[in-house]
Amino acid sequence: MSFGAEFPLNLLLRHDPAESKRGFTGGNIKGWFISIKRTFRIKEKKGNMNWKKCKVTHKGNFELSKIKTVCEIKEREKVSLKEQLQTYLEELDKLQYLLFAEDRQSLLIILQGMDSAGKDGSIKHIMRGLNPQGVEVHSFKHPSTLELEHDYLWRYIQKLPERGEIAIFNRSHYENVLVTKVHPEILLSERLPGIDTTKKIDKEFWKRRYKQINDFEKNTIQNGTQILKFYLHLSKEEQRKRFIERLENKEKHWKFSSNDITEREFWSEYQLAYQSAIKKTSTKIAPWYVIPADDKLSAHILMSRVIVEKLKEMNPRFPAIDKKEEEFMKHARAKLAKEK
């Protein structure tokens, strides 16, 4: 597997299309690392949202209804915030390069939220600076006949990222404790032993399922794939506005579904389902981040910052080259330099 195209122009270290995944060319490697470190030292601008406060911990009770859905941003601050977002995107660009070259770790990004919360837009804006050959986006719809022949986690395991890659789940295994909790009759299609009526789907069932998810994520992380989980926290009023916009703009009609209005009637039930899922599955190794989503710019800034910090924590590095390979490269360069 290799990057078949050059990275964007803002990369200081260029990648040749003909090179393998482990190959790289040109430039002062030491200088490149120094450039990355300087970029990471960029100071926070005053008034910027605190990304750390989005992290869900188990200190105190977690109530989704008490969390704001919007970050207050003054109009005069938007220009500087857009510049800051661009800075984060450039950092992501460089970190992805290192992650791909290292080929030992991977990152799974999970996006959840109500309809029109901005999951698609977040993918478009935050990931636009990355090389698409190192990113996979998976949107999970209603399970197929084949998928229903396996346990509910099976189809998600098939889509976990390869070493060196970033995968994005646009909706995820959490739908199996969200939509199925609001509409438990859906669970009957899984044909689970002992579950032949919704009356048998009790508190113990959901307790087991939360544990299954935590165990799945723990195993995934222990085997080299880190996980980031974002809940895009949208207000009911903002959803109403976005639905109206989709209905009034012909170019956005394709985004609207009659099911959107049907599911909106279950708003309160979904909020309770999200609250329970986040509370039960926000662990130390895979915490949830609740992102205020009424304002798209602030949501993109917060999410990009969290992703940058996670990749920095993973600390990807160029793979080491042994002395034998280094000597071979030295002779190869000398040989190529003599060619006219």
Q: Name every residue whose Cβ is closer than 8 Å to that of residue 118 and which is 6 or more positions away in sequence.
A: 232, 234, 293, 296, 299
Query: Exposed (0-12), middle (13-18) or buried (19+): which is 215, by Cβ within 10 Å?
Result: exposed
For 311-337, what is each residue's pLDDT tens digit?
999 999 999 888 999 999 999 999 999
Which whole-number Å values give the CA distances from 110 to 4, 47, 145, 329, in the listed order? 26, 27, 24, 41
What does the DSSP 8-state code read for residue 17?
Answer: T
Amino acid at 2: S
For position 39, what pLDDT does the model report?
Answer: 37
Distance from C-alpha of 182 to C-alpha of 197, rounded to nearest angstrom = 15
As a whole number of angstroms, the distance between CA 165 and CA 46 comes to: 34
The domain limits of the chain are: 54-77+102-295
Q: What is the pLDDT of residue 60?
A: 67
**Is the CATH number 3.40.50.300 carried by domain 54-77+102-295?**
yes
- According to DSSP, residue 233 is labeled E
Given a cut of 70, the residues of the chain with pLDDT beneath it are 1-48, 59-60
Of 122, 220, 130, 212, give the one whose Cα is nearest residue 171.
122
Instruction: Round to whole Å and give the CA distance between 9 and 34.
Output: 18
Look-up: residue for tokens 């270290």?
13
Alpha helices in the chain (DSSP H): 29-40, 78-102, 119-126, 145-148, 154-157, 179-182, 203-222, 236-248, 258-264, 267-281, 296-314, 323-338
Which pLDDT belongs to residue 129? 75
Count Cβ atoms within 10 A of the Cβ of residue 223 and give its class: 0-12 exposed, 13-18 middle, 19 or more buried: exposed
Distances (CA, A) of 153 to 116, 215, 266: 25, 11, 25
Q: Residue 95: which of 310, 319, 321 has the closest Cα? A: 310
pLDDT digits (tens, 9 = 90+) for 271-284: 999 999 999 999 99
CA separation for the pair 68, 24 (Å, rounded) = 45
Give the span between the Cα atoms of 128 and 132, in whole angstroms: 9
